[in-house]
Amino acid sequence: MCANPAESSIREYLSKRKRRTNDSRRYTANEKYLTSSVDGGGLSSKRLSLKLNYQSFNYTDLLICGYIIKLPPNIQPYATQRTMIAKILISLKNKLNALIESPTGSGKTLGLLSASCGWLERYKKERTQSRDECKACHNGSGNGHSGNKTLDQSTLLGELNDVDLSDNNSKRMNTISAECSCDTQSFSTLEDEFENDFCAVASSSVVSNKLEGVTLLDDSKLSMKDVAEEGHTCLPRVTIYYGTRTHKQISQVVKEFSRLPYGKDGVMKHTILASREHMCINPAIRVNDDINSKCKEFISSDGIGCSYKNSMRGKYERPSAIRRLIAQTTQKVNYVWDVEDLVEALKCSTPSLCPYFSTARVLIDDADIIFCPFSYLIDPIIRTNSGLSLKNTIVILDEAHNVEDVCREAVSFTFMERELVGAAADLYEKATELEKELAKVDAKIVAEEGLIETQGNRAGRYKECLEMLKGHFKTVINFLNKILDWFVNVSSNALQLAPMKNDRLTYTFNWEKLFTTFESNDLNIFDKTGKGTAYSGLLEAFISITGTGNENDEFQSYLKHYKPSASTAICVEKFLYFFKSYFRDDNRTSYKLFVCIDKPFVPYAQSNIFDIANNSSNSVDILDMSSYDKEKEVWLDSRTRLKGYREVKYGYRVAISFWCMRPSVAYLDAFKGCRSVILASGTLSPTDTFRTELGTTFQQEMEGNQIIPDEQIFAAVIPSGPSGEKLCGTYRIINRDDRFIREISLILSHVCKIIPKGVLCFFSSYRVLDHIYEYMETTGILRQIQNIKLVLKEPRRSSLMNSVMMQYERAIVNSLDIGPQCTGALLMAVFRGKVSEGIDFTDDRARCVMTVGIPFPNAMDEQVIEKKKYNDDYCTKLQILSGDEWYTMQAYRALNQALGRCLRHRSDWGSILMLDERLLQTRTNPNAKKVSRWIRKQLRPLTNYEHFLSELANFVNKMELKNSQLANDSNCSAFSVVNDEK
């Protein structure tokens, strides 16, 4: 009888893998031993060898899609993890984008890391082979595409500078883009890849070096570099950027990365991008509230300097040297550190080095995987100032359910009247000081015989620098004068077009009206950003006056005296980025101008709105209406810092906002040149908006199953309350009378009596939360709940959140400390709030999650109104969702995110209760299918409210009994071990 071919292939693979593993272990141990003894920086080679032996060999091999994926010891991946890894490998192999939804507790982070690192490990080997075969590399031309990580830039704005938009260049680049578009029709399916695991693997072919759809406005420098390397046939360098929403989440991801062998074996070098606030170790800087500004002040050419940064000069400007120093300090080879570990290591090292510049400027050069917050990748100002180029990289955005909002916010800009007036006044003052200094130099040159004729003398060169700087100041001042003139015009128009209600006025200009205001104020001259344009001239002037030129210039210390304040630089920089984004492609139709004029809580008579320098002498005298004299380029009547500028409306705060309506503006700007982008979250559903709003095709999608057994999940929709009142949490019903509020209050009371330990309940807004809390307080229901639960409310202020969570944790762990009948805590929270994401409510911390209503965005919010209008206007042309469809998607995504707070790992158990009849799964209710699939599969049919209470009580009793049995078994095992030892 013939053996099964598949079984034979499996046995053959396992046999080969065993031989290969033994061979690689012997080779790796010898190689690491030799490397460590030479470059260990004084560490014991024996200790290094032992550590590496332990780290290198304890991992689990997994063959998926032809790739060997390494997992932590004794890990058997869930089916959901295997599918996720396969989807990611297919995406990376074929340069595709992917949407990955995997419920919390299913090993999403470990799957993302192991798949991407496993792919990159083999790619690096293939790249080494391709470089050996590349004639251009052997001839010494170029650098083999190794420079895709950071931009070589000395200017503040980097990519903004020197962009060539000539017709010839556009045609050439368009041709290249067309030739290099990825053929996505030939990639393998998931089923094909699984079949290929048991087939002979062909040797990797060398991919030709072509540009991958480079767009014009940001990548001219990159395209010039590629042109210089046309002779190369080797594979380009690829790095992984792993983005998270917060710094805290980075620590969690790095912890998962440390479980894998890739970092421990030295296969993957990593670094972390974080702010100075998280990394600064200079005590003189850390005592300040604004650590970022104080650091820049210290390290400026006329600053006192930072010893930690200075210690990096020379030897520690190389990543290998810093990595050896970390190993020496921690006594760990290939140590996978997080931010706190690195800060402590470099603080205690000899010499002590600056962690911020070590990671952001040095370790990033050789890092294979870079962990950072979303803002470093999506925000154009942060990305450019950090010197990041994402061309040909792999970008993974974890917890990406809010990425649309992040993208829209990244390219939306707000300006206050105070901000603009202060910037203009600051520039005038610096320019005036410069004029005085120039007059002194002129007088000195005239007084000293022969200096005028000597162009190479110091005074002559100094005068040339001052005159150049004067011209640049004039350019920036002229620009800001135009902006102020425009600001006054649009604000005054808003005052005429909209009524004032409750000391607040708002008006929105659509894109046509906005563009018309730019034309009438001659601001459309910035629509071209190439060389020789008004934009490039402004950019050059801005870079000059902000002092970001050559620090070694002999006159740089003198010019620093005329450097504008940080707030002025930020104000102008924001406008530069706005115009760059606004005039690119057809983006002008994506913007709306929102004007808001309101009365502040503190009267301007008490808080001087124009006092930028905290100097009372700079206050603004209110004069008769003054105006900008375009011929003289000044504001008239000069009794104030800004030569008689008058407030738009006395005693009122005026702000204008450029709202971007299309997330794709920021998304494509950031990720258009990436090899692959993977968006992952526990709650991406519904996914329709990702495809339409981000302007990108996601060829691979996955909605993973819950790995927790069905019997450990109780999920139900509660359509009516104890009194039989239908539950429908709309704004109208909530505010109609107290019947809905009474039903919700009673359900809370009943559930808290049944559920042990932690209960989370989410409401659509703080207003609804407070309404229900006050009702329970008035009727005595709150007192009943407080007899068995500590009742807490999510605070509006983030600074109070830690205190609330400490109280919640204490009530869960030590319930009897709260009261003799206390069984835990009830935390009342809001959708999209601080509790709804980023906090791990595992096990007893969330035995039940309740949601009240459906969290639609505030229908009266101006930005929501304008976004719905925009989608309605362009849904056909851009093939995006209509305004109502987009609005609904936002609600269900927030609902799914809150529901995901429960059930965090395979042994966890809990209940999910949705209190709203609109979530019943019926044929006439298609929106109910927008709830995450794994929750829909678990929904229990209930006949009435009494049936619900009975089923919930039975579920809790069953789970508590199971936990009790497991605890007894554990105690018996421990007792047996103790007796055996005796």
SS3 506: strand
Phi and psi (nearest 5°) for 280? -65, 135
The whole-angstrom separation of Cα 272 and Cα 340 is 11
Residue 30: the pLDDT is: 32
Phi-psi region of 132 (alpha: psi -120 to 50; beta: other; left: phi over 0): alpha
Do 759 and 818 share a domain, yes or no?
yes
Question: CA end-to-end span of the chain, whole Å?
Answer: 55
| Domain C-terminal end among 660, 675, 694 | 660
Q: Is the pLDDT of residue 161 over 60?
A: no
Helix pair 339-348, 319-330: axis angle to 10 deg: 90
- Clarify whether residues 742 and 805 are in a common domain: yes
Which range (140-154, 559-573, 642-656) has the least confidence?
A: 140-154
- pLDDT class for 643, splitting at 50, 70, 90? low
The answer, yes or no, to whether residue 135 has pLDDT greater than 50, is: yes
DSSP 402: G
| 215 falls within a domain | no
Residue by residue, DSSP assigns 849-910 as: EEEES-----TT-HHHHHHHHHHHHHTTTTT---HHHHHHHHHHHHHHHHHTTS--STT--E
Q: Looking at residue 627, what is its pLDDT?
A: 42
More confident residue, 900 or 22: 900
| Strands lying side by side in the sheet with 824-830 | 713-717, 910-915, 848-852, 757-763, 824-830, 789-793
Confidence of residue 393 (pLDDT cuts 50, 70, 90): very high
Q: How far apart, in whole angstroms, are the C-alpha atoms of residue 393 and residue 671?
A: 9
Same domain, 251 and 306: yes
Q: pLDDT tens digits, residue range 962-975?
A: 888 876 665 555 44
Classify residue 42: in a domain, yes or no: no
**At residue 769, what is the residue type?**
L
Of 256, 241, 272, nearest to 111 by C-alpha is 256
CB 193 within 8 Å of CB 581: no
Mark whether 796 and 917 lie in a shared domain: yes
d(CA 426, CA 404): 36
Contacts of 347 (CB under 8 A, 6+ apart): 281, 355
Residue 764: per-residue pLDDT: 94
| CA gap 458, 436 in Å, rounded | 18
Q: Name residues whose C-beta falls within 8 Å of residue 837's C-beta, 6 or more positions apart in sequence.
A: 245, 399, 897
Residues 938 and 892 in one domain: yes
Is the predicted pLDDT of residue 929 greater than 60, yes or no?
yes
Q: 52: closest CA among 31, 72, 68?
A: 31
- 155, pLDDT greater than 90: no
Flag whether 32 is in a domain: no
Confidence of residue 585 (pLDDT cuts 50, 70, 90): confident
Pairing of strands 413-416, 653-660: antiparallel
Query: Residue 177 carries which side chain, given as an amino acid letter?
Result: S
Above 50 in pLDDT, residue 220? no
- Binning pLDDT at 50, 70 and 90, where does residue 715 land? very high
pLDDT in tens, 586-598: 899 999 999 999 9
Residue 703 lies in a domain: no
User: What pLDDT was estimated at residue 741?
Assistant: 96
Whether the pLDDT of residue 626 is over 90: the answer is: no
Please write the tens of the pLDDT for every residue from 497-539.
Answer: 999 999 999 999 999 999 999 999 999 888 876 676 889 899 9
At residue 229, what are phi and psi to the nearest 5 degrees?
A: -115, 30
CATH number at residue 719: 3.40.50.300
Q: Select from 305, 284, 293, 355 the least CA-distant residue to 325.
A: 355
- 432 and 343 part of one domain: no
Higher pLDDT, 607 or 206: 607
Same-domain check for residues 381 and 458: no
Average pLDDT over residues 20-35: 35
Residue pointed to by tokens 């990244």: 410
What is the rounded average pLDDT of the residues 220-225?
37
Residue 409 CA to residue 661 CA, distance in Å, equals 9
- The radius of gyration of the chain from alpha carbons, rounded to an integer in Å, stands at 32
The domain of 322 spans 240-393
Separation CA 882–CA 871 (nearest Å) = 5
Strands 910-915 and 848-852: parallel
User: Pairing state of beta strands 270-272 and 757-763?
Assistant: unpaired
Same domain, 355 and 494: no
The reply to whether 371 and 471 lie within a common domain is no
Closest listed residue to residue 301, CA positions, set 554, 544, 557: 557
In a domain, 763, yes or no: yes
Per-residue pLDDT tens digits for 423-437: 999 999 999 999 998
Residues 847 and 763 occupy one common structural domain: yes
> Given this model, what pLDDT does residue 548 score?
60
Residue 10 lies in a domain: no
For 700, the 3-state DSSP assignment is: strand
Last residue of a domain, which of 337, 360, 393? 393
3-state secondary structure of 489: helix
C-alpha torsion 804→807→809→812, nearest 10:
-130
**Mean pLDDT lowest for which of 228-242, 654-668, 781-795?**
228-242
Q: Measure CA 417 to chain center.
A: 29
SS3 string, 522-562, reads CCHHHHCCECCCHHHHHHHHHHHHCCCCCCCCCCHHHHHHH
Mean pLDDT across the stretch 797-805? 91
Summarize the confidence of residues 182-191 as an average pLDDT: 42
This prediction has a pTM of 0.81
In this predicted structure, what is the pLDDT of residue 345?
A: 93
With beta carbons less than 8 A apart as the criterion, state whether 91 and 892 touch. Answer: no
d(CA 673, CA 393) in angstroms, rounded, equals 8
The answer on 715 and 646 residing in a single domain is no
The pLDDT value recorded for residue 117 is 96
Given this model, what pLDDT does residue 169 score? 38
Query: Which of 58-72, 186-200, 660-674 is predicted least confidently?
Result: 186-200
- Domain endpoint, select from 362, 393, 424: 393
How many domains does the chain fold into?
3
Asked if residue 586 is part of any domain, the answer here is yes
CB-CB contact of 686 with 84 (8 Å): no
Q: Is residue 500 part of a domain?
A: yes
| Mean pLDDT computed over every residue of the chain | 80
Residues 6 or more apart whose Cβ sits within 8 Å of residue 449: none
Q: Say how far apart CA 639 and CA 63 lie, in whole Å.
A: 77
What pLDDT score does 108 carry? 92
Burial (CB < 10 A; 0-12, 13-18, 19+), residue 472, is buried
Which pLDDT belongs to residue 641?
52
89, 65 contact by CB (below 8 A): yes
824-830 vs 789-793, strand pairing mode: parallel
**What is the arithmetic mean of pLDDT over 629-652?**
59
pLDDT at 882 over 50: yes
Residues 647 and 753 in one domain: no
Q: What is the phi/psi pair of residue 648, to 5°?
A: -60, -45
Residue 680: its H or E element: strand 676-681
How are the residues of the chain apportioned to helix, strand and coil, as percentages rounded to the nearest 5?
A: 50, 10, 35
